[in-house]
């Protein structure tokens, strides 16, 4: 899974984060380093769709939180990915 | 490197910069950046520019870019000049099928002789043609190239469709130097005349009587290739097509992503 929007949503699923925190978190749980352009492209798209929103910032770093809509989208994507993973695992066992 | 990433971020649309520039700068303060990040930011900025434009702006930008690139490529390609001469064969007897066949046969014999390996190798040596290629490419390849691309011998179409006693044809040579192109064409014309005289002396020309030069080898003033205008037009069309494809592809992608989750 390397879709930046899903990675950002997954990162925000366990709490609010600013850009650098998301980047570090994604690298940790997915092993993918998002470049600054890719990260902010994803943030802009997610905010535009109402899946994330900015929260109060204490400094220049802007934290974001996942919205209910974003959470539903993430859940739908994860269950769809789960189905693919289970099917693949089943087929690999029988192969 | 952070400086280059910041520079690349200036390519984002103004609306994006108003909204995200401060936090983007704050992010850059914290991360180690490399060339990959410069390209990543540039790609992100251009993608955002492209998706925020309307179709008219996308087409205008891609068309102008395509035309500019094509024109630049055209100016980078060495110019080719063509010199042409017109000759005419006249038969002595009445215009009938035998006379036409005699002319065709005589023309083919002269062409074969003039375009033979020996004849073209002499031409190359005399005018010092293809100096740069001679050391790298076998002479056979150069000669084949001359026959296929540089030298053209073709009949002049009879506008009145008359079946008379004359047959006109053009001889052209194309090269990078206009003066040399004219000299080589002149030499080819001379070779035709020499061939005709030799055939007449040998008595092998049948009904063919005269071979005359109607137009001497022309002095090329303008290159025939590349034509920057045509290149630019082709680039404009290619740019418009690419712009249209990318615009529709990106809109389609966005609409797929925006489809509500079940």
Supply the ipTM of this predicted assembly. 0.87
Chain A residue with CA closest to B47: the answer is A41
Nearest residue in chain B measured CA to CA from A72? B261
Indicate the class that CATH gives domain B81-215. Answer: alpha beta
pLDDT, tens digit, for every residue of B103-155? 788 888 889 999 999 999 999 999 999 888 888 888 899 999 999 999 999 88
CA–CA dist B106, B98 (Å, integer): 12
How far apart are the C-alpha atoms of B140 and A94, rounded to whole Å?
A: 62
Number of domains composing chain A: 1
According to CATH, where is 3.30.70 located in chain B?
Answer: 81-215
> Which pLDDT band holds residue B184 (cuts at 50, 70, 90)?
very high
pLDDT score recorded for residue B262: 46
Q: Do A35 and B25 touch (CB under 8 A)?
A: no
Closest approach of chain A CAs to the CA of B254, in angstroms? 10
pLDDT score at A63: 94
Which of B100-109, B179-188, B212-221 has the weakest average pLDDT? B100-109
CA distance A65 to A13: 8
Average pLDDT over residues A32-46: 92
Closest CA–CA distance from residue B152 to any residue of chain A (Å): 56
Enumerate the residues of chain B whose CB falls inside 8 A of the CB of residue A19.
23-24, 26-27
Q: Is the pLDDT of residue B17 over 80?
A: yes
Which of A36, A59, A73 has the CB atom closest to B41's CB atom? A36
Question: Considering only CB atoms, which residues of chain B are within 8 Å of chain A?
Answer: 5, 8-9, 16, 19-20, 22-28, 30-31, 33, 36-37, 39-45, 47-48, 257-258, 261-262
Task: Name chain A contacts of B16, Cβ cutoff 8 Å.
Answer: 44
Cβ <8 Å between B37 and A36: yes
- Give the domain extent around A89: 4-94
The CATH number for A11's domain is: 1.10.10.10
């Amino acid at each position: 899974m390397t879709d930046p929007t899903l990675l950002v949503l997954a990162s925000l699923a366990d709490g609010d984060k600013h850009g650098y925190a998301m980047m570090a978190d994604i690298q940790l749980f997915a092993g993918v380093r998002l470049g600054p352009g890719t990260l902010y492209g994803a943030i802009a798209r997610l905010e535009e769709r109402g899946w994330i929103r900015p929260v109060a910032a204490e400094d220049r770093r802007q934290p974001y939180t996942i919205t209910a809509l974003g959470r539903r989208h993430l859940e739908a994507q994860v269950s769809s990915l789960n189905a693919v993973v289970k099917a693949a695992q089943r087929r690999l066992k029988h192969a | 490197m952070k400086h280059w990433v910041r520079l690349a971020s200036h390519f984002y649309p103004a609306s994006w910069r108003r909204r995200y520039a401060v936090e983007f700068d704050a992010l850059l303060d914290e991360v180690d950046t490399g060339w990959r990040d410069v390209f990543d930011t540039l790609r992100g900025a251009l993608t955002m520019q492209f998706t925020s434009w309307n179709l008219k702006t996308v087409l205008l930008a891609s068309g102008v870019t395509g035309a500019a690139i094509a024109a630049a490529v055209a100016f980078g390609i060495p110019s080719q000049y063509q010199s042409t001469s017109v000759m005419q064969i006249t038969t002595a007897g009445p215009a009938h099928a035998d006379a036409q066949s005699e002319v065709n046969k005589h023309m083919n014999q002269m062409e074969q002789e003039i375009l033979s390996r020996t004849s073209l190798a002499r031409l190359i040596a005399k005018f010092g043609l293809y100096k740069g290629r001679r050391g790298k490419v076998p002479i056979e390849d150069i000669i084949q190239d001359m026959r296929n691309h540089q030298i053209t011998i073709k009949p002049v179409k009879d506008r009145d469709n008359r079946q008379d006693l004359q047959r006109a044809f053009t001889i052209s040579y194309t090269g990078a130097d206009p003066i040399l192109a004219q000299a080589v064409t002149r030499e080819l014309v001379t070779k035709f005349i020499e061939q005709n005289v030799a055939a007449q002396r040998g008595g092998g020309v049948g009904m063919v009587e005269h071979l005359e030069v109607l137009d001497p080898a022309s002095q090329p003033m303008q290159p025939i290739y590349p034509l920057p205008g045509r290149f630019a037009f082709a680039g404009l069309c290619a740019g418009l097509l690419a712009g249209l494809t990318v615009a529709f592809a990106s809109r389609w992608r966005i609409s797929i992503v925006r489809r509500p989750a079940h």
